[in-house]
Amino acid sequence: MKLDQYRSGFDKVIEHIKVDIGALRTNRATPSMLENLMVEVYGSKMPLNQLGSIQAPEPRMLTVEPWDKSVLKSVEKAIQTASMGFNVSNEGTFLRITLSPMTEETRKELVKVLNDKLESGRRSLRGVRDDVKEVIITAEKNKEISEDERYKLVEDLDKLVRDYNDKVEELGKKKEEEIKL
């Protein structure tokens, strides 16, 4: 029995965390801030990155150009109601979005949100760990592995989870620095 076959579960959690915290606002405009914003179009909700291109021409500005110009108003409405502190101006064929400077209070609030998202990610990692641990224990009960192998696998699993928790911590510190800039 090898733990490597379970790495993909942990990797998926890390990828989800990256996407989740990538959408958090910083003082620098990045397309990831809007990519997964849901927009009500064609009778359903779709992520913005499936409706048009998102560019960051300047550090504090984004532009959104929908491929279908008829959805421009819906995109504009979705960005305005997202309450992310953006100023949206409709330029006819595209939207110009400027980031207002963040206040100290806004930064503190974003750090709290960041910490909540990181904790949620850690819970997901623990869930994956518990599933793998269950497989190890079941394998021992079914006499597929010995008791010594079980102890070794659980020890290796704990080390693997520590490594992934360190990655989460690293992602969090990096994002927190971006928010505080």
Last residue of a domain, one of 99, 124, 150: 99
Last residue of a domain, one of 99, 124, 158: 99
- Identify whether residues 13 and 64 lie together within a single domain: no
- Identify whether residues 56 and 42 lie together within a single domain: yes
DSSP-derived secondary structure letter, 135: H
- Identify whether residues 107 and 90 lie together within a single domain: no
User: Shortest CA distance to 153 belongs to which of 139, 142, 167, 164?
Assistant: 139
CATH assignment at residue 135: 1.10.132.20
The token pair that represents 87 in the structure block: 């100023």
Sign, CA torsion 109/113/119/121:
negative
Are the C-beta atoms of residues 117 and 20 closer than 8 Å to each other?
Answer: yes
Per-residue model confidence as pLDDT tens for the chain (181 residues): 788 898 999 999 999 999 888 877 777 788 888 888 899 998 899 998 999 999 999 888 999 999 999 999 999 998 888 767 788 999 999 999 988 777 888 888 889 989 999 999 999 999 999 999 999 999 999 999 999 999 999 999 999 999 999 999 999 999 988 888 7
Are the C-beta atoms of residues 16 and 121 closer than 8 Å to each other?
Answer: yes
What is the rounded distance in angstroms from the CA atom of residue 154 to the CA atom of residue 148?
10
- Identify whether residues 107 and 176 lie together within a single domain: yes
CATH assignment at residue 43: 3.30.1360.40
- Identify whether residues 13 and 33 lie together within a single domain: no
- Identify whether residues 126 and 155 lie together within a single domain: yes
- Identify whether residues 94 and 109 lie together within a single domain: no
Query: Which residue type occupies 134?
Result: E
Query: Which residue type occupies 162?
Result: R
Location of structure tokens 């504090």: 60
Percent helix, strand, coil in the chain (nearest 5)?
60, 15, 20
- Identify whether residues 59 and 115 lie together within a single domain: no
What is the span of the domain harbouring residue 67?
28-99
Tally of structural domains, the chain: 2
Sign, CA torsion 139/143/149/152:
positive
The strand ranges marked E within the chain are 38-41, 44-47, 52-58, 61-66, 86-90, 95-99
pTM over cut 0.85: no
Last residue of a domain, one of 99, 129, 160: 99
- Identify whether residues 39 and 93 lie together within a single domain: yes
Are the C-beta atoms of residues 55 and 37 closer than 8 Å to each other?
Answer: no
